[in-house]
Amino acid sequence: MANVVTDPHVRPDVIIPDLSKPDPAVTFARDDIAFVYGTKWKQRYFTKVGDDYFPLGAQWDITNKVWRPYLVAPNTDWWVPFYPAQNSGRPTGPLCDGCHSVNYDIKTKKVTEWNVGCEKCHGPGSLHVQRRTAATIVNPAKLDYVHANDVCIQCHSQGQPLKNPIEGRYYDWPTGFHVGLDLKDFWRLEDHKLGETTFTHFADGTAHKNRMQGNDFVQSLMYTRGITCFSCHDVHGTQNNADLIKPPANLCLTCHGPNSPNGPHAPTVEAHTHHRAGSPGNECVSCHMPRIEQEIANVNVRSHTFRFITPGMTERDKVPNACTGCHTDRTNEWATAELKQWTPHSPWRLD
């Protein structure tokens, strides 16, 4: 997995935008930046005051190549009411660093290392350094599906610690947890009531924003059948986008196909998708993982419930669906009418 936190004094080229070009949103200078977060979707900048880091007021939207203001607004993240209204009152220690470092110590505010290091997924490593055997390290592949997925869900989820505040401060990450313990004793996933569209969820329970792959995946049948995040991703790095084990077009077919008991239950892939081979409309991820979860502005990442969201759900509940996400010149009624003629899908499930 790529680095998220970088010190620009060590790597000056990490800063993507040209800070010498003035922009009304940018009220800080290069010298104010002690840390840079992010290289893929958005880049945020932090300044150091005492032994804490605080966000600066502008972020770079990498895809659209524009500056946008950065201040977490009221009625968004659950922690906003417990913090001052300005960035200068919102340190990264309680709000970010548990997920962006290894062993962030809430007393000393020190880390063993920045970014997602080995110990975050393999558990404490000191014994392993003394004695290099399989018994002294956690191999996530040997855990049951709940603990295996929790290795990733500890960071890839929106939630709240069970104990909060801790010594007067509200934390936004599973304080006290490390691999080898039970995540459920430290963390609960963000609540959602069916039918409500919130900052975190669409009305059907699909995630609305980024970093919610865990909240989504626990809803999938695949999760209960023992599939894990690392059935599809290899976090030690691959040549594919998002560290996928195979490109999306082949990945799903490892376990799925017309003759597989896992489905889809149709004579050919094309008979299931009703799009020709080679069409973007024939790719599993196009319909089962639409890009509807917001990273920044109009830049979205893919849903991980793997559920097919119907055009009818878009009409009723404002959950975006894949069909009219691609066929932008058509209506949801058109898509529903087409779908209802698609055999062998059940028309009763496609309203």
186 close to 209: Cβ distance less than 8 angstroms: no
Q: How far is the CB of 105 from ligand HEC (least distance, A)?
A: 15
Tell me the sheet residues that pair with 181.
179
Q: How far is the CB of 328 from ligand HEC (least distance, A)?
A: 10
Residue written as tokens 């936190």?
5
How many other CB atoms are found less than 10 A from the CB of residue 6?
Answer: 20
Q: How far is the CB of 276 from ligand HEC (least distance, A)?
A: 5
Nearest CA to 263 out of 232, 305, 234, 221 is that of 221
Q: Residue 290: is it exposed, middle or buried by C-beta count within 10 angstroms (0-12/13-18/19+)? A: buried
**Residue in the shown chain whose Cβ atom is closest to ligand HEC:** 263
Tell me the sheet residues that pair with 305.
none
Q: C-alpha 4: how far from its chain's center?
A: 13
Q: How far is the CB of 3 from ligand HEC (least distance, A)?
A: 6
Tell me the sheet residues that pair with 6.
36
What are the C-alpha distances in Å from 241 to residues 1, 158, 208, 280? Answer: 11, 23, 22, 17
Q: How far is the CB of 171 from ligand HEC (least distance, A)?
A: 8
Question: Cα angle at 223 between 205 and 194, to 5 degrees?
Answer: 15
Residue written as tokens 């002294």?
136
Q: How far is the CB of 86 from ligand HEC (least distance, A)?
A: 14
Tokens (6 digits) for 147 = 């603990």
| Residue 39 vs 197, nearer CB to ligand HEC | 39
| Residue 52 vs 243, nearer CB to ligand HEC | 243
| Residue 186 vs 230, nearer CB to ligand HEC | 230
Nearest CA to 76 out of 88, 66, 85 is that of 85
| Residue 152 vs 203, nearer CB to ligand HEC | 152
Q: How far is the CB of 71 from ligand HEC (least distance, A)?
A: 11
| Residue 116 vs 203, nearer CB to ligand HEC | 116
| Residue 136 vs 197, nearer CB to ligand HEC | 136
